[in-house]
Amino acid sequence: MTLTAFPPLAPGSTIGVLGGGQLGRMMAMAAARLGFDVAVLDPEPDAPAHRLAAEAIVAAYDDPAALTRLASLADVITFEFENVPAAALELLTSQGAPVAPNGRALAIAQDRLDEKRFLNDAGAPTVAFAEVNGPADIRAALEKLGRPLLIKTRRGGYDGKGQVWIEHTEEAEAVFAEIGARPAIAEAPADFRRELSVVAARGRDGEIALYPLAENHHEGGILRRTAAPAQVGPRVLAQAERIAATLLAALDYVGVLAVELFERDDGRLLVNEFAPRVHNSGHWTLDGCEVDQFEQHIRAIAGWPLGPTHPIARVEMTNLIGAEVGEWARLAAEPETRLWLYGKAEARPSRKMGHVNRLTPLRG
């Protein structure tokens, strides 16, 4: 059954979420605001979203009994975690459970090579790239695309993991070993001036809403800071809007989608990747927009009208990574700072433990 065949979900309905991390937790908070319950499936018993869920299913993502339970409870199912096995969504769909966004969007986003090919076919520009299945392919890519190149595993990488720069042909064997000798992609450098992202949503009826662009700063491959709305000219804005609208339509997408962009010196935008879910670079909307990305996602998948995306403040969002979360008392005392903590017990290095949104009034 297609999603559009369902009437809008009434308050009191249950939203199933695959993945119980902070994104699932903030989705659950938004769902509660609109009168929905959530059922969460995550293998970790103390996952951040489990504690907010009406039903916490502690099981592997490919556990057929757990997926059947989720399908029986939920009126619509979504995911907050990109590495959900595609087979899990197929099993849910085969049981008649509506899933949004659809499995195709997830499958494409899970494979960097398929994703780049899809983006180019859809008319969204990317860096030049080549398929890599061994050191010989890396050597050929260095010949064809120039140097340096960034070698990324096709699947499973996130936050800069599984990525290595290569400059010299002689390093091909070592670099391929370093990424785990797995199928990979070679990418030309993006030569970007800034990293931007656009968070957009598409409703079940095809209605589209876009948030203002965000400017993102990474450290060690992890998002550190987002400033939004980003200062961008009309040309950049028009490109971002066209890219987001094209992808939402090409994927027949329902829900929130994030597109990571590189802005080059000449003002051209390239797409780095898209995330078929709510996104860290959209956390500023929690305090900076009338309806935030989490509520927008719930509205979209529930078949409700999309909410307004106007900014109501300028926001600088900073992730609290690892031990930084220990600063919570000082941060909570800052008057223009909104503190979001994810309820994770152990502050391991590189782990996203929370974020702060620092607000300033919009100019003009």
Shortest distance, CB of residue 122 to ligand AMP, whole angstroms? 18
Angstrom distances, CA of residue 102 to CA of 220, 253, 283: 31, 7, 23
User: Which window, 15-23, 34-42, 186-194, 328-336, contacts ligand AMP (CB under 6 A)?
Assistant: 186-194
Site for ligand AMP in 213-252 (CB under 6 A): 218, 221
Q: Is the dihedral of CA 46, 48, 51, 54 positive or negative?
A: negative
Region for 23 from its dihedrals, namely left if φ exceeds 0, alpha if ψ lies in -120 to 50, beta otherwise: alpha
Residue nearest to ligand AMP (CB): 190
Task: Fill in the per-residue mask, 267 to 306: x = in contact with ligand AMP (CB under 6 A), - = not in contact.
Answer: -----xx---------------------------------
Shortest distance, CB of residue 297 to ligand AMP, whole angstroms? 20
Sheet with strand 37-41: strands edge to edge: 55-57, 37-41, 14-18, 76-79
| Pairwise CA distance, residues 275 & 324, whole Å | 26
User: Which window, 46-54, 89-97, 139-147, 189-197, contacts ligand AMP (CB under 6 A)?
Assistant: 189-197
- CA quadruple 30, 34, 36, 40: dihedral, nearest 10: -10
Among 187, 263, 287, 316, binds ligand AMP (CB under 6 A): 187
Strand, helix or coil for residue 98:
coil
Shortest distance, CB of residue 194 to ligand AMP, whole angstroms? 10
Measured from the CB atom, the residue of 75 and 187 that comes closer to ligand AMP is 187
List phi, psi (to 5°) of 304. -85, 165
Contact 357, 314 (CB under 8 A): no
Task: Fill in the per-residue mask, 117 to 156: x = in contact with ligand AMP (CB under 6 A), - = not in contact.
Answer: ----------x----------------------x------
Query: How many chain residues touch ligand AMP (CB under 6 A)?
Result: 13
Q: What angle do CA 12, 26, 37 make, to 5 degrees?
A: 15
Q: Which residues bind ligand AMP (CB under 6 A)?
A: 127, 150, 157, 160, 187, 189-190, 195, 218, 221, 260, 272-273
